[in-house]
Amino acid sequence: MKRTLVILALIFAAMTAEAQQRLVYQSYMLGSDSGDTTLREIQRFKNQLKINDIQEFKRKLIDGVSTDFTYVDYGTDSVYFQMNYQDGEAYFYSYPLKTNDVEFEEVGSEKILGYNCKKYKTSINSNTIEVWMTESLGYDASPVTSRGYLKGVMVRQMINGNRVMDLKSVKKDKKDRKDKRGLIPENLGVRKTGKELNKINKDKLIVRTKIFDDNQIHFAKIEKFSGEIPFDTVLHFSWGTIILKRVNLPVLPEHYQIFAELHQRSNGDAYDRTGSVFVIPTDRKLSLSNALIDSIEVIPYQLDKNGKKYQGIRLEDDYLPVVELMRFFTPFGVNHFNDRVQIDGLEWENEAYYKMEVSELSDRLSGDVLIGAFIGNYDGGGHKVSLDLVAYPQDYDGDASKNSRWSLPLFNTCNVMEMSGQNYGRLFQTDSLTVEFDIPEGVDNLRLRYITTGHGGWGGGDEFNPKENTIIIDGEKAFTYTPWRCDCATYREFNPVSGNFWNGVSSSDLSRSGWCPGTATNPVYFDLSDLKSGHHTITVAIPQGADEGGSFSHWMVSGILVGNKK
């Protein structure tokens, strides 16, 4: 009788091994109330597996999402990982299943989910991994292939005692194969290495828009441009110190994180210069583009108590100031002057690199957009810059109609049209900067995105002396902030021709009012969530220092109201 049972069991195991099965695994966290986190399915036929995650995503997917399958062939000891993209492209890489560096230790046996199992244990990067395998089903199958081969069917995996993957069901596949050719397709796509495939996957998910590509910003006689600004053409304005491009940017769902990514190197200019990456808003009758094409005199201006004009620095009924994405400062001569000075222990960098998140300004970064970059300099060689806008998805939802971000540029005293007569922000010596604005109904979560840097490059100038910035809302003092950077010496490798003093300190090392040569200045954010819809005023007051001989201090401040539409 016992022999008969053994024979029947062997016959059943053989029949099971020939049939096609569908195994489903569920993943969850112990102690969590969220239920199943993911489901993973294995289709098995003979000595082959097809493994994929079960995704129930009924909404529109973002571009670049792949459908992934893992195929296992126990007969040839091979694993094939395949990625299929919405554009029809398919790629794969392969590796041997049984060759790996992970060693499992058999630590006992237990009955898990009704199956008699052997228990295995290993540790990877301080993570404890426990796996329970059963041989009672008569075949091999595991939803995890990256750690090699264990005999039998995986019933449970546990990582660090709380992340669990359990075998939820085993069923005979109703769609049993008739051709019996196996589960692995003859054409898996283009073969790549795992590293290459990882790069392809990231490149397809990331939305990268090239704005400028090694374009020169310098001081030169530029032929005056007139007419409508064309798409995808880099134009120079204001004696070559501004480059501008009209682009059509994709409309993205709100969950994307957007970054401005800038590369800069000297092309002949040896000095630390103010730079700005900005968008010219065209919501109103006038914008900076009118000043660039016609004259600085066509845009609104503010007079200080000394009668000086400050053109285009604040919101008016018919004008919006530029939207500053990133304020940056060039180092002293990076790349072009790397061979001029050699200092033991220092190896000069080849370029300066700046990357800043601008997600809260995404409403200004879709559709028809004018993007510019400015570096104030008087050199014929000037600088070379490359600029990308890079967007990273944080979700699979591809619905771009729900972007609720809202912004309103209030002021900007960074004089990007310096070479065309736009004055430095010297008004704070005798005046404050006041702007009237309206918050529409249905806008909340308001914040002020504020960038401030002080300038005046001598011992008594505001570049080297901390000054408190005061923000006044509707006549009431609301916030104070003192911009100061004391980490400038960190960036010495970017400043090959920075002056070196008798005491061993370099001029690029000196602390400054909110900036360092070779860095971008981070915005600060002030909470205005209590501000109601309607008419308001904002005032910026700074105790700007007095002039000294031919030298003067000035402040570059930009402020943008950001929030969400209900």
Report the range out of 3-17, 31-45, 278-292 with the highest average pLDDT.
278-292
Ordered DSSP codes for 216-232: EE-----PPP-SPPPBT
Per-residue confidence band for 18, with pLDDT thresholds at 50, 70 and 90: low
Q: For residue 80, is pLDDT > 90?
A: yes
What's the pLDDT band for 37 if we cut at 50, 70, 90? low
The DSSP symbol for 87 reads: T
| Length of the chain counted residue by residue | 566
Q: Are 555 and 542 in contact (CB under 8 A)?
A: yes
What is the structure's pLDDT at 173?
74
Q: How many of the other CB atoms lie within 10 Å of CB of 266?
A: 27
Burial class of residue 165, CB neighbours in 10 A (0-12, 13-18, 19+): buried
309: which 2 tokens?
């004009």
**pLDDT > 90: percent of the chain:** 85
DSSP 93: E
Classify strands 90-96 and 190-191 as parallel, antiparallel or unpaired.
parallel
Give residue 401's pLDDT. 86
* DSSP codes, 514-550: S--TT-EEPPEEEE-TTPPSEEEEEEEE--PPPPBTT
Chain position carrying tokens 């097809």: 50
Average predicted confidence (pLDDT) for the chain: 93
Burial 447-470 (b: 16+ CB within 10 A, else e): bbbbbbbbbbeeeebbbbbebebe
Beta strand segments in 15-85, E:
20-29, 38-45, 48-54, 66-73, 78-85
The C-alpha atoms of residue 132 and residue 155 are separated, in whole angstroms, by 6
Question: Span 152-178, mean pLDDT?
Answer: 88
Give 112-148 pLDDT, tens digit per residue: 999 999 999 999 999 999 999 999 999 999 999 988 8
SS3 category, 488: helix
The reported pLDDT for the residue numbered 480 is 98
Give the pLDDT confidence score for residue 177 in this predicted structure: 53
**Nearest partner of 93 among 185, 183, 195, 206, judged by Cα:** 195
CA distance 212 to 278: 13
Do 2-193 and 206-565 show the same overall fold? Answer: no
Region 75-91: mean pLDDT is 94
Query: Residue 500: is its pLDDT beyond 90?
Result: no
Q: How far apart are CA 68 and CA 81, in angstroms?
A: 7
Q: If you average pLDDT over residues 13-32, what whole number do you get?
A: 77
Residue 176 Cα to chain centre, angstroms: 46
- The fourth-level CATH superfamily of domain 206-565 is Peptide-N-glycosidase F, N-terminal domain (2.60.120.1570)
- Residue 14 DSSP SS3: helix
Is domain 2-193 annotated with CATH 2.50.20? Answer: yes
Q: H or E element: which one contains 48?
A: strand 48-54
Q: Where are the domains of the chain?
A: 2-193, 206-565
Q: Are 502 and 475 in contact (CB under 8 A)?
A: no
From the centroid of its chain, how far is CA 512?
27
407-426 mean pLDDT:
97
Q: How far apart are CA 90 and CA 68, in angstroms?
A: 10
Task: Find out whether 254 and 445 touch, Cβ atoms under 8 Å.
Answer: no
More confident residue, 502 or 358: 358
What percent of the chain clears pLDDT 70, i.e. is strictly above it? 93
